[in-house]
Structure 1
Amino acid sequence: MVDKLHLSHPTRRSNSMVSRRSPQHALSYKRQRGAIGIMAALVMLMALAFLMLAIDSGRLYLEKRSVQRVADMAALEAVLRDGNCQASAGTTTAQTYAAENAQIRNGFTLDAQRTLVATCGNVDESGSRRSFTADTLGRAIQVDARREVPASLILGGIFGQQVTIVAQAVAAKREPLAALTLRTTLATVDSTQSPLLNALIGGLLGGSVNLSAVGWDGLAKSQISLLDYLDQLAINQGITAGDYQSLLEENLSLGTLLDVAATTLQQSGTSANLDAAIAGLTALSAVVPAASPLLQLGDLINVQSATQKAGLDTALNLLQLVQGTVELANSKSAAFASLPITVPGLSNVTLNIKVIEPPQLSAIGNPELAKADPYGPNQIAVRSAQIRTYLSIDLSGATDALDNLLQPAAGASLNSFLNSALNLNLVGAVGNLIGSLACGGLLPACNSMKVSAAQVLPDGRVDVMLDVAEAQARVTDYSCTSSTDKTLDVDVTTSALNLAVGKLGSDSADALDQIFNASSTPVAAPIALIKLGEQTLRPTSCLLGLCAGLQWAKAGGGWVSDPKLARFDVRSGLGLTLNSGVISSGVDVPLVYESTANQLPNVGEAPYEKSATANHNVVGNLRNTLAGIDLEPYASSSPRILDGLITSSVGLINSLLGSLEGIIKNVLSPLVDPLVNTLLDGLGIGLAEADVGANLTCGSRAELLL
Structure 2
Amino acid sequence: MNPTQPCHRPSRLPRPVRPRAHVRGSIVVNLAIALSLIVITLIGSELGYLFFVKRELQKTADLAALAGAQALGPSDCASAQRAAATNANVNILPGLPRVAETEVSCGHFDPARTTPRHFGAPNAGQKLNAVLVTLTRTPSLLLPLLPGNAQRAITVEALAAQQQPLASLTVRNTLVSVNDAKSPLLNAVVGGLLGGSLNIDAVGWNGLLNTDIKLLDFLDQLKISLKITAGGYDQVLNTEVEVGTLLDAMITALKKSGQTLDVVLKALDKLHVAATGPGAKPLIKLADLLNIETGTEAGGLKSDLQLFQLVNGVVQLASGKSAASVDLNIPSLAGITASVKIRIVEPPQVSAIGNPNLIKPGTGPGTGAADPYGIYVRTSQIRTLISLNLTSLTNVVSQIASAVLAALSPIINFINTVASLNLGNIVGQLVGGIICGGNSCPVSKVLYADALPAPIDVAISSGNGEAYVTGHTCTTDTSKELDVQANTSIAQVNVGKVSDTVFSSSAPVTAAPVPVVEIGYQEARYDSCLLSILGPLLCSGEKWKNAAGNFVDGKANGKKTVVSGLGLTINSPVGGTGTANPLVYRAPAPENLPEIDAPPFDGTVDPSYKAITSQSVVSSLAATLGGIQIRPYSSDNSGLLGSLLGGTLNLISGLLTTLQNLVKNALGPLLDPAANYLLEMLGIDLSKTEVSGRLSCNRGAVLVY
Instruction: Report if TM-score (shorter chain) is over 0.5.
Output: yes
Residues 494 and 569 in structure 2, CA contact (< 8 A), matched pair in contact too: yes
Match of 1:531 in 2: 518
Match of 1:269 in 2: 258
Aligned match of 1:341 in 310, 327, 331?
331
**Partner secondary structure for residue 466 of structure 1:** strand
Aligned match of 1:485 in 476, 479, 502?
479
Measured against aligned partners, the alpha-carbon deviations of 1:56-112 in whole angstroms (never above 9, x if no partner) come to 6766887899999999999999xx999xxxxxxxxxxxxxxxxxxxxx9799xxxxx
TM-aligned CA deviation for residue 27 of structure 1: 7.0
Q: 1:699 to 1:439 in 2, by over 3 A?
A: farther
Match of 1:132 in 2: none
Q: 1:63 to 1:267 in 2, by over 3 A?
A: closer
Structure 2 unaligned blocks of 5 or more:
1-13, 75-101, 106-113, 120-125, 137-153, 366-370, 602-606
Matched AA of 1:580:
S
TM-aligned CA deviation for residue 595 of structure 1: 0.7
Q: Which piece of structure 1 moves more, 659-668 or 567-576?
A: 567-576
The alignment status of 1:586 with 2:573, answered yes or no, reads no
The 5 Å alignment of 1:694-705 reads 694-699=693-698, 703-705=702-704
Distance 1:547 1:427 in 2: 25
Matched AA of 1:414:
I
TM-aligned CA deviation for residue 363 of structure 1: 0.8
Residues 173 and 701 in structure 1, CA contact (< 8 A), matched pair in contact too: yes
Residues 445 and 542 in structure 1, CA contact (< 8 A), matched pair in contact too: no
Distance 1:309 1:552 in 2: 82
Distance 1:639 1:601 in 2: 62
Match of 1:631 in 2: 630
Measured against aligned partners, the alpha-carbon deviations of 1:245-267 in whole angstroms (never above 9, x if no partner) come to 11011111111111111111121
Match of 1:91 in 2: none
Distance 1:219 1:448 in 2: 70
Q: 1:663 to 1:35 in 2, by over 3 A?
A: same
Match of 1:406 in 2: 404
Count of residues in Structure 1 that have an aligned counterpart in Structure 2: 615
Matched AA of 1:604:
D
Match of 1:42 in 2: 33
Match of 2:503 in 1: 516
**Partner secondary structure for residue 329 of structure 2:** strand
**Partner secondary structure for residue 296 of structure 2:** coil
Residues 374 and 380 in structure 1, CA contact (< 8 A), matched pair in contact too: no
Match of 1:285 in 2: 272
**Partner secondary structure for residue 418 of structure 2:** helix
Matched AA of 2:38:
A
Matched AA of 1:625:
T
**Partner secondary structure for residue 604 of structure 1:** coil
TM-aligned CA deviation for residue 203 of structure 1: 2.1
Distance 2:131 2:551 in 1: 97
Distance 1:43 1:303 in 2: 66
Q: Which piece of structure 1 moves more, 351-360 or 377-386?
A: 351-360
Match of 2:552 in 1: 560
Q: What is the TM-score when the length of structure 1 is the normalising length? A: 0.75
TM-aligned CA deviation for residue 620 of structure 1: 3.2
Residues 341 and 350 in structure 1, CA contact (< 8 A), matched pair in contact too: no
Match of 1:600 in 2: 593
Matched AA of 1:403:
A
Distance 2:584 2:56 in 1: 48
TM-aligned CA deviation for residue 629 of structure 1: 1.0
Q: 1:437 to 1:68 in 2, by over 3 A?
A: farther
Match of 2:677 in 1: 677
Distance 2:420 2:226 in 1: 75
Q: 1:233 to 1:189 in 2, by over 3 A?
A: same
Residues 473 and 692 in structure 1, CA contact (< 8 A), matched pair in contact too: yes
Q: What is the TM-score when the length of structure 2 is the normalising length? A: 0.75
**Partner secondary structure for residue 39 of structure 1:** helix
Q: 1:46 to 1:74 in 2, by over 3 A?
A: same
Residues 532 and 571 in structure 1, CA contact (< 8 A), matched pair in contact too: yes
Residues 205 and 326 in structure 1, CA contact (< 8 A), matched pair in contact too: yes
TM-aligned CA deviation for residue 173 of structure 1: 3.3
Match of 1:420 in 2: 417
The 5 Å alignment of 1:298-377 reads 298-333=287-322, 334=324, 336-344=326-334, 346-370=335-359, 372=361, 373-375=363-365, 376-377=371-372
Distance 1:559 1:120 in 2: 97
Distance 2:684 2:634 in 1: 41
Distance 1:210 1:570 in 2: 46
Q: Which piece of structure 1 moves more, 218-227 or 541-550?
A: 541-550
Match of 1:18 in 2: none
Structure 1 unaligned blocks of 5 or more:
1-22, 83-103, 108-115, 122-136, 148-164, 506-510
The 5 Å alignment of 1:67-82 reads none
TM-aligned CA deviation for residue 229 of structure 1: 1.3
The 5 Å alignment of 1:112-151 reads 118=116, 120=118
